[in-house]
Amino acid sequence: MTAAGMNILLGVILLLLNLTAAADASSQSSPLRLGYLEHPGSALCLAAGSKGFFRAEGVRVRLVRFHDTERGLAALAAGGIDAGAFAVGETLRQIAEGKELRIIAGGGTARGADPLADLDEAATLEQESGGIVVAVAAPPRAPGKEVLVRLVTALIRAYQSLQKEPGGIGHGAVHFDPNPDYRRIERLWRFHDLQGEKRPRDFLANHVYEEIYCDALDRLMDRTGTKDGVLQKLFSEAVCVPDCCPPVAKKRDKNKGGSR
Amino acid sequence: MKRIMAFVLSLTLLAGTAFGANLPKLRVGYVPEPAHGLYFVAKEKGYFKEEGVDVDLFQFGSAAEGLAALKAEKLDVGTFGTTAPLLFISRGSEFTFIGGMMIGGQAIITRPERLAELSGKNLKVYKGKKIGLVKLSTGDVIFKGALKKAGIDYKKDISFVEFGTVAAVVEAVKKGAVDAGLVYPPHFSLAEKNYGLKVAHYIEEFYPDYTCCRIVAHTKEVNAHPETYRKFLAALIKAYKFYKTNPDETVKIYTRALKIDEDIIRNETYVKRVAESNPDPLRKGILDFWKHIQEAGYITQDYPIDRHINTDIYKQALDSVIKREPKDKIYQQMLTFYRKQN
């Protein structure tokens, strides 16, 4: 897809989604400032706002638009925003440079820009590097876990919604996936040769907070079970550590998050 | 006289406190499953302190939470399944398997009217069936491993429905949404008791001595303080002997610690023997599990997992206990088992 094509697609998405970040009377003292890139892969954030999923999940969000990932990540590092949906390649590069970022969700990847991408793994990974992930600052600056789980739950619901609109943007030239997908990120990490020799083996894993996505998915699975085909597919693709334990002994409060 | 008694008691308490204070401490995490009971026995019978280690037990509601605590060094040791530590290790966590806690324990449940159809000693009865499971649970990985060993192409011949919780699997079996469901203790006992469902098979019937729930610790700590971990495992070896020779008291200890129905604990532990609490590291079992988890597609990269298994410390612990009681049959059986499984 050309840059002009991407801009047109983004314009259409904005029009379709009627961008209005919802506010609600949840317990947050101030809205979570969610940066997003002018890129069709940011559509899950926009849809979650315009379709009221943030509000439905009890999280107040203010969307902040950025023209490029560098400025977005700089704002995240400076505390100007609380979370951001930016290009995964640049986000990984900044993590490798020592920026304290945590990837908590996926987004969308525009496909079709490079006709060789389907035939050449390097071209595919280059294209993937332009896709969107949602990142936050590392604790203690990051929003609380419960807020993040609600945020990602809303993004998954936005994904469900887009997938269920026949002929909508969920079925176009952008591949959406709310899963941060450690395996995909690790492929990109290696492709860009970011591991280096001296870095600890778990360096990347310490920067991908997949548990947030797993908890969000778990929360939605608890609500709908296996009845929702879109959700079931996401669940099948996720690699989440399962729950154990007899129900009488479970400490986890499903209304307050927890993990699998 | 009273004053003398009080003085003696004070001295005893002081000595006890000092004794406890001088022992190396281990913070041990576990999940509340009946077969994890060796920890409670070792604690209650005083085996940890006898062996020279001061253990604090911490209960976790999920393997992910427990391993996150271990990774954050809020724990020194943890028992959180097999899948979860392998996933963490595959992503770079420097954990080492030093022992085990549970062998076997998974069962396939069905509705009573489907029992005859699923009976027999051949896994082929499950071909063409829809089976519910908790994704990435031990049962998921081991059942697929058993099917593969039996020459069944499970990706083609069986339809798996993945659920987030074991309660959801039981519910699906109950409603007939799946033909059978893979569950772990005490859920099949609860499903039998509460809903009249039936156990069609224990996976152990097809895959003897498969690994569940391993004991993991930080590699650097294990290497730095092997003696502390040896003492810890020696206490669990003594707890194993107690569990094998004192069923009534063991059931009471498990029941007090887990607050699960005493009859269910007795039935699973000593009547049906659905799982065994055993501290052996089961190195071969971990390597098999690793192979199955890769075949199932949950871990894609290859990695020399063997470097994260330390059987030496367990063997030293077993040797130290046998040296004190060389003729004890239970310890000799443990030694034979160790030689076979590692």
The pLDDT score that the predictor gives to residue B18 is 47
Residue B92, sorted as left (phi over 0), alpha (psi -120 to 50) or beta, turns out to be: left
Question: A233 — contact with chain B (CB < 8 Å)?
Answer: no
Residue A13 covered by a domain: yes
The rounded distance, in Å, linking the Cα atoms of A42 and B175 is 40
The number of C-beta contacts closer than 8 angstroms across A and B is: 118
B267 to chain A, minimum CA–CA distance in Å?
16
- Dihedrals φ, ψ of B125, to 5°? -60, -20
3-state secondary structure at position A28: coil
Contacts of A240 in chain B (CB under 8 A): 64, 135-136
Length of chain B in terms of residues written? 342
- Dihedrals φ, ψ of B216, to 5°? -120, 155
Query: Could you state, in order of their start, the residue ranges of all structural domains in chain B?
Result: 2-104+210-341, 107-205
Q: Tokens at residue B174, please?
A: 């109950």
User: Cβ B94–A202 below 8 Å, yes or no?
Assistant: yes
CA A111 to chain centre: 17
Residue A166 covered by a domain: yes
Contacts of A221 in chain B (CB under 8 A): 163-164, 168
Residue from A170, A142, A146 nearest A157 by CA:
A170
**What's the pLDDT tens digit per position in B108-135?**
999 999 999 998 889 999 999 999 998 8
Question: Of the segments A37-41, A140-144, B15-19, B226-230, which one has the largest average pLDDT value?
Answer: B226-230
Residue from B23, B99, B103 nearest B317 by CA:
B99
Q: End-to-end distance of chain B based on CA atoms, in angstroms? A: 58
3-state secondary structure at position B302: coil
User: Cβ A244–B63 below 8 Å, yes or no?
Assistant: yes
User: A151: domain range?
Assistant: 3-211
B107-205 — its CATH code?
A: 3.40.190.10
User: What is the chain B residue with the closest CA to A187?
Assistant: B301
Of A183, A211, A246, the CB nearest to B186: A246
User: Cβ A245–B32 below 8 Å, yes or no?
Assistant: yes
Task: Look at chain A and report how many structural domains it folds into.
Answer: 1
Of A235, A251, A259, the CB nearest to B64: A259
Q: CA B261, B262, B268: angle at the middle one, nearest 5?
A: 95
The pLDDT score that the predictor gives to residue A164 is 87
Q: Is the pLDDT of residue A255 over 50?
A: no
Report the 10 Å Cβ neighbour count for A8.
13
Q: What is the largest CA-CA distance in chain A?
A: 57
Q: What percent of chain A has pLDDT over 70?
A: 77
Of B32, B88, B134, the CB nearest to A242: B134
Give the CATH number for residue A17: 3.40.190.10
Residues in a beta bridge with A133: A86, A106
ipTM of the complex: 0.78
The rounded distance, in Å, linking the Cα atoms of B258 and B323 is 33
pLDDT (average), residues A129-142: 93
Residue A8 covered by a domain: yes
HSE-up (13 A, CA, CB side) for residue A60: 9
- Dihedrals φ, ψ of B97, to 5°? -75, 125
Residue A240 covered by a domain: no
User: What is the chain A residue with the closest CA to B213?
Assistant: A244
Q: Tokens at residue B119, please?
A: 């009976």
Q: Tokens at residue B277, please?
A: 């609490």
The pLDDT score that the predictor gives to residue A171 is 67
Contacts of B84 in chain A (CB under 8 A): 241-242
**What's the pLDDT tens digit per position in A215-242?**
999 899 888 866 788 998 999 899 888 7
User: What is the chain B residue with the closest CA to A239?
Assistant: B298
User: Cβ A246–B63 below 8 Å, yes or no?
Assistant: no
User: Cβ A249–B87 below 8 Å, yes or no?
Assistant: no
What does the radius of gyration of chain A's CA atoms come to, in whole angstroms? Answer: 18
Q: CA A102, A104, A110: angle at the middle one, nearest 5?
A: 110
3-state secondary structure at position A219: helix
**What's the pLDDT tens digit per position in B80-111?**
989 999 999 999 999 999 999 999 889 999 99
B13 to chain A, minimum CA–CA distance in Å?
34
CATH architecture of B2-104+210-341: 3-Layer(aba) Sandwich (3.40)
Residue from B209, B178, B191, B172 nearest B268 by CA:
B191
The rounded distance, in Å, linking the Cα atoms of B143 and B125 is 13
Q: Where are the beta strands (DSSP E) in A20-60?
A: 32-37
User: Cβ A250–B61 below 8 Å, yes or no?
Assistant: yes
Which sign does the torsion angle of CA B205, B209, B210, B212 carry?
positive
Q: Is the pLDDT of residue A14 over 50?
A: no
- Dihedrals φ, ψ of A126, to 5°? -60, -45
HSE-up (13 A, CA, CB side) for residue B46: 3
**Tell me, what amino acid is at B64?**
A
The pLDDT score that the predictor gives to residue A251 is 39
User: Cβ A249–B298 below 8 Å, yes or no?
Assistant: no
The answer to whether B107 touches B222, Cβ cutoff 8 Å, is no
The answer to whether B300 touches A183, Cβ cutoff 8 Å, is yes
The pLDDT score that the predictor gives to residue A89 is 97
The pLDDT score that the predictor gives to residue B32 is 84
Contacts of A206 in chain B (CB under 8 A): 92
| Low pLDDT (below 70) residues in chain B | 1-21
B257 to chain A, minimum CA–CA distance in Å?
10
Binned at pLDDT 50, 70 and 90, residue A136 comes out as: very high
User: Cβ B186–A258 below 8 Å, yes or no?
Assistant: no
Contacts of A248 in chain B (CB under 8 A): 259-260
